[in-house]
Structures are given as C-alpha cells and as structure tokens.
Amino acid sequence: MTVRFFSFGEDSMVDTFYAIGLVMRLCQSISLLELLHIYVGIEPSHLFPRFLQLTERIIILFVVITSQEEVQEKYVVCVLFIFWNLLDMVRYTYSMLSVVGISYTVLTWLSQTLWMPVYPLCVLAEAFAIYQSLPYFESFGTYSTKLPFDLSIYFPYVLKIYLMMLFIGMYYTYSHLYSERRDVLGVFPFKKKKM
C-alpha cells in the first residue's frame, strides 16, 4: 500500500482554475487597490506601468480565461498563476515592508531582479493563453456582436490587436522596471575607461 501526500500530475494542472480560480479573481480584483495606493501616495511608484500590468492580468483572467471554460483546462492557466503569484509574493512583501520603513537587502534585490526573467515569461504565457482561446472565441462567438448600420465587432480580431499591444506594453513596462531597478539598486552600465 502506497500513500501519496503530494501529487502534481496532469489532473492537478488541468484543475488549477477550478481549485483556485475564484481566489485568483478575488485577489486580482483587490490588487486594483494598488492603483489607488499609488495615486494617493501610499506607495511610491509610477501609476501607468502598474496600470498596464494590472490591466493585462484582468483582461487575461476575466475576459480570456473565465469566459471560456475550455481555456480554463489548459496548462497555461497553471503556469500563469504560478508566475503571477511568484512576482506578487515578492513585490507585495517588499512594498509592505518598505511602507513601514523596514528594508532587507536580499528582499530588495529579489524584488528588483526577479521580474527580469519572470515578467517576459508571464507575457509569453498570457500571449499563449490568448492564442489558445482564439478558436473558442471564433466558434462560440463570445463577445462578438452585431452593431447597427451593418457594423459588427468580431472579438477574435480584438484579441489579435490586443496581442500586439501586449508586447508593446511589455517593452514599456520592462524599460520602466529596469530604470527603477537602476535607481533602487544603484546599478549603472559600465563605462569604458579611456586609455
């Protein structure tokens, strides 16, 4: 008789959304308060880059994943949740401690460095989620609508346009985060010495 305390197989990845989807939707909705904190001045950060990050998560979670049950069963949902939570655990811990005046060098470095490999992977996973959802939006016609005067909105086209904007937003956010990292950590590009 074998007792297994922890199993991480195909079923657990497929069932990720069913297990924690409600909690993720609640947490991502609450994370919108971060924009208010930045606006009011509680958190010293720039509003627009954070707005882009939160908007892309809300769109992916609520529009792409939640609205298509077939997408909820994809492995990319588990990967997205892991990446998002990894970044949030470090960022929110660092931000919370910074607000009360506590600073740990390792946490500061991790907060300013972890996003460098993980954020582009998040955007790629988000793009892959959109790509995987397109056939379902096409076949079911979700969010596609017919407007007066023979106009219509075909939602898969909207998603394809958003897909391009996602990478433009990633470039902007990545540039901003890198600049912020330089300021916080005091890391500057090396200058060649003149001989």
Q: How far apart are CA 25 and CA 22, in angstroms?
A: 5
Q: How far apart are CA 121 and CA 137, in angstroms?
A: 24
The type of residue at 71 is V
Check 34, 56, 94, 126 and give the catalytic one. 126
Tell me whether residue 119 is one of the annotated catalytic residues: yes
* Residue 43 binned pLDDT confidence (cut-offs 50, 70, 90): confident
Check 75, 119, 136, 174 and give the catalytic one. 119
Check whether 107 has a pLDDT greater than 80: yes
Average pLDDT score over residue span 89-116? 92
64-73, 116-125, 186-195, range with the lowest pLDDT: 186-195
In three-state secondary structure terms, 145 is strand
Position 45 scores a pLDDT of 83
Mutual angle of helices 33-40 and 47-58, in 10-degree steps: 170
Q: What is the pLDDT of residues 48-73, one digit of tens each?
A: 989 998 999 999 999 999 999 999 99
Tell me whether residue 70 is one of the annotated catalytic residues: no
- Torsion sign over Cα 29, 31, 35, 37: positive
The type of residue at 141 is G
Q: What is the DSSP string of 35-90?
A: HHHHHHTSS-S-HHHHHHHHHHHHIIIIIIITT-HHHHTSHHHHHHHHHHHHHHHH
